[in-house]
Chain A
Amino acid sequence: MGVVSKAYLVLYNAVQTIGWAYILMKLALHHKDGYNPNGVWDLIGKEVILFQGAAVLEIVHSLIGIVKTPVATTFVQVFSRVACVFLATIVPTTQNYWSLTLMLFCWSITEVIRYSFYALSIVNMVPYFLGWLRYTTFYILYPMGVLGETSTILASIPFVTENKVLTYSMPNFLNVSFDFAFFLKFSLIFYVVGLPWLYMHMISQRKRFIATGGNTKATPTSQTKKEN
C-alpha cells in the first residue's frame, strides 16, 4: 500500500474514532442521571448522520482496493446502518424510542473500538487489549445492536403505514408499486438469517485472533492490502 493511501486511511479511521467517541460521550452524558430515551435523536442525530453517512466512503475504499474487505460485505454492513439512520430521520416515532438509544449505544461503543483498531493496525501499533476488545465485545454488543435495530424498524412500521411514507401505488404506466412498510417487514428476515451467520463468523475470527496471539496481520478482514 502506498504512503498516500496509508496516511489517508489512518486519517479516515482516526476521524471516525473521534466522531463516534464524541457521540458516545454525548449519549453517556445524556444518561448521567439514569435511563432517558427522550431527546436522544435531537441531541446526536446530526452527528450520527454525519459519521454514519461518511462510512459510505468504506464502500469506495473497498472498490478502489485500498482495503481488503470484499465490496459486497462492506456494502451490506454500511447499507443496513444507513437505512436505520434514514428511518430515524424520517420517522419521528422512533426518535424517542428505547431501541434507538440501545442501537446508538451499541454502535458508538463498537465503532470507537473498531476504528481505533483499524487506525492503529495500519501503522502496526495495536495494543493487545484493543484487539481483544475488538474480538470480544461483539458477544454482547452484536445481539444488542440487532435488537436495537430490529425494534427500531418494528416501531417505525405503524407510522410508515399510516402516512404512506415512501409508498408508491398502482395504477401507473410502469405497473410498479412500492410498499415501504412491507419492505421493512421483509428486511427483518435478513436480520434473523444474518445474525447467527455473522455471529459464527465473528467467533471464528476471535478464535484466530486468540490463536495467533493477537497478531492482527493474520486476521484477514481487518488486514489492509499489501503491495505485491
Chain B
Amino acid sequence: MKLNIVTERGNREVGVLQGISGTTTISQLKSTLFDIKNKSSKFNVNRIKLSTGDRKSLEDSKCVNDYQLKENDTLLYKDLGPQIGWSTVFVAEYAGPLLLYPVFYYFAPIIYGLDRPKHSIQTVALICYSLHYLKRILETIFIHRFSHGTMPLRNLFKNCSYYWGCTIMVSYFVNHPLFTAPSQTKQLIGLTLWAVGEISNFICHYQLMNLRPPGTTERRIPRGFLFELLSCPNYTVEILAWLGFSIMTQTLTAFVFTLMGAAQMWVWAVGKHRRYRKDFPNYPKSRKILIPFLL
C-alpha cells in the first residue's frame, strides 16, 4: 500500500512511502522515509515523529495494522530536532557534580580566601555526594535500560545547567570555612537516612532492570520490595537520601536542592503511575505514587 507523509505544521508534502504492508513497523516506515530523503541527517530515524490526526506519536514497535492505516492514508511528520542518546546525557549531567563538588573541598583557601581545618562531616559529605553520582553513572552504564533511545539535544544543556549549577550551590556552602556543623545526633540521623536511601534506591533500580528483558523496550508491572506499596519507590528513597544529606550538613541550599528534586520526581511519578494504571488493567489498586499508604 501507499502512505503519504506531510508536515504536521503547514501540511507540506514530505514524501510518499510505497510498498507498505500491514505488518510493516513504524520504525521501518521511518527508515524508509530516511532512505527516500537521501539519508539526510534531518531525517535521522530518531528525529522523526510520525502521527495521525490526533498528533499522538506513533510507537516505533507497533505496526501499520495496529493503527488501522489504509491505502493512501496521510501521516503527519514532525522534525524533533537534533537528538542525543539518553545515556550520554545522563553521564554528562552526573560527571559535572562528580568533578565540581570536590573543587570547593580541596581548593577552599583559594576560593574563600580562608584556610580552616575541615570538619569531619564536611569530609563525610564529600564522600556521600561523590558516591551518589558515581553510583548514578555506573547505573546508567550497567543497569538502566532506557525505553526511549534519544532525547532532544537542548535537554543536554538544560539538564547539565541544573545539575552543575545545583552542585556549585550546595558545595559552596557545605565546604565553606565558616561552616557550622549540626549536632552529632543530626549527623547520625542524616547519614543513616542517606545510606538507607541510596541502598534502597539501588535495589529498586536493580529490580527495574530485571523487569525488562535485555534489548527490548517491553513494559511489565514491577513487583516485590517497595514496589508492592508504591509505583515509584526509587524516587521516594532518592528523596529520602537527599533529605538525609541535607540533615547531616544542615545547609539551606541542600534543602532547596532536595525540594526541587522532590517536586520534579513527583511530576514524573504521577505520570508513570497514570501510565501503569492505563496500560495494565490488573495494576494493583492499592499502590500509591510516592508516599506509602497516603499519596
**Chain A positions near chain B (C-beta within 8 angstroms):** 169-177
Contacts and interface: CB of A to CB of B under 8 A. Distances in A.
A173 B250 contact: yes
B252 A171 contact: no
A176 to B, nearest CB: 4
B250 A174 contact: yes
A175 to B, nearest CB: 4
A176 B176 CA distance: 9
A172 B176 CA distance: 11
Contacts of A175: 173-174, 176, 179-180, 249-252
B111 to A, nearest CB: 13
Contacts of B251: 174-176
B173 A171 contact: no
A221 to B, nearest CB: 20
Contacts of A173: 180, 250
Interface in B237-252: 249-252
B253 interface: yes
A172 B173 contact: no
A171 B180 contact: yes
Contacts of B179: 170-171, 175
Given A175-B174, A175-B176, A176-B253, 8 more contacts: A169-B178, A170-B173, A171-B179, A173-B180, A173-B250, A175-B249, A175-B251, A177-B173
A183 to B, nearest CB: 13
Contacts of A174: 250-252
Interface string B180-194: 100000000000000
Contacts of B176: 170, 175, 177
In this complex, the member of A173, A174, A175 whose beta carbon has the largest number of chain B beta carbons within 10 angstroms is A175
Nearest to A174: B252
A139 to B, nearest CB: 29
A194 to B, nearest CB: 16
A170 B252 CA distance: 12
Nearest to B255: A174
A170 B178 CA distance: 6
Contacts of B173: 170, 175-177
A177 B172 CA distance: 10
A177 B177 CA distance: 12
Contacts of B174: 175
A176 B173 CA distance: 6
A173 B173 CA distance: 12
Contacts of A176: 173, 251-253
In this complex, the member of B178, B249, B250, B251 whose beta carbon has the largest number of chain A beta carbons within 10 angstroms is B178
A177 B174 CA distance: 11
B95 to A, nearest CB: 24
A40 to B, nearest CB: 38
A216 B104 CA distance: 53
B118 to A, nearest CB: 14
Nearest to B174: A175
Interface string B144-185: 000000000000000000000000000001101011100000
B101 to A, nearest CB: 15
Contacts of A170: 173, 176, 178-180
Nearest to A172: B180
A171 B112 CA distance: 13
A174 B246 CA distance: 10
A172 B174 CA distance: 12
Contacts of B249: 175
Q: Which 7 A-B pairs have the closest CB atoms?
A: A176-B252, A170-B178, A175-B251, A171-B178, A174-B252, A171-B180, A175-B173
A171 B176 CA distance: 9
Contacts of A169: 178
Nearest to A173: B180
A83 B251 CA distance: 27
